Chain A
Amino acid sequence: QVQLVESGGGVVQPGRSLRLSCTVSGFTFSSYAIHWVRQAPGKGLEWVAVIWYDGSNKYYRDSVKGRFTISRDNSKNTVYLQMNSLRAEDTALYYCARDYKTLDYWGQGTLVTVSS
């Protein structure tokens, strides 16, 4: 069955870095784009970034451009989100999701807390 599992979250001080991973199974990873979507505590969904199936295109929301980098390793069935210069407003549950006509499968999320 299709599974996406996020990892790498934790508590980090403002200005520091964190790398999230999204490891998938149950489908041909190299055929699908993968998105990161976050949800601040008690708030709505906010799209963060997407990487095309072959890594050829990457797009980011404006507030993370220049600070976050999305990448993938198709040999490891894993997408990464490198987050630098973290801010308090980046605190959220980060989900990865597969793109097939829609965001059709989601992981359970990994929590990132940015606090001093």
Chain B
Amino acid sequence: QSVLTQPPSASGAPGQRVTISCSGSTSNIGSNTVNWYQQLPGTAPKFLIYNNNERPSGVPDRFSGSKSGTSASLAISGLRSADEAIYYCAAWDASLNGVVFGGGTKLTVL
């Protein structure tokens, strides 16, 4: 059971927009920033979004993040087959004194 809750799967057709949710509590998302990671099959995770909604250089603006209260979301627009991956949200948890991850959402591009 992950501390942060994500839907196990999401899907969309090429070109469409999909949103992945991440629900937490006051000790993690409610009081700290949210980061998102993308894990392509057989590879190490790669960071996608940091500080709730900032993109590192090289990440296309098709990817965007947002946060409200104790929830966050990742939106991917203009879906491409290359976006098929597992997406994880994460945040520091002040009660646990550690990083907590969501269970991951497997994105399928139909």
Residues of chain A having any CB pair with chain B under 8 Å: 35, 37, 44-47, 49-50, 59-62, 95, 101-104, 106-109
Contact yes or no, A45 B44, CB < 8 A? no
* Number of B residues with CB within 8 Å of any CB on chain A: 23
| Cα-based distance from A59 to B92 in the complex (angstroms) | 12
Chain B: interface secondary structure?
A: strand
Contact yes or no, B98 A61, CB < 8 A? yes
Known: A59-B97, A62-B96, A102-B51. 17 other contacts (CB 8 A): A44-B88, A44-B101, A44-B102, A45-B88, A45-B104, A46-B101, A47-B90, A47-B101, A50-B98, A59-B98, A101-B50, A102-B47, A102-B50, A103-B35, A104-B56, A106-B44, A106-B46
Q: Residue B99 at the A interface, CB < 8 A?
A: yes
Q: Residue B24 at the A interface, CB < 8 A?
A: no
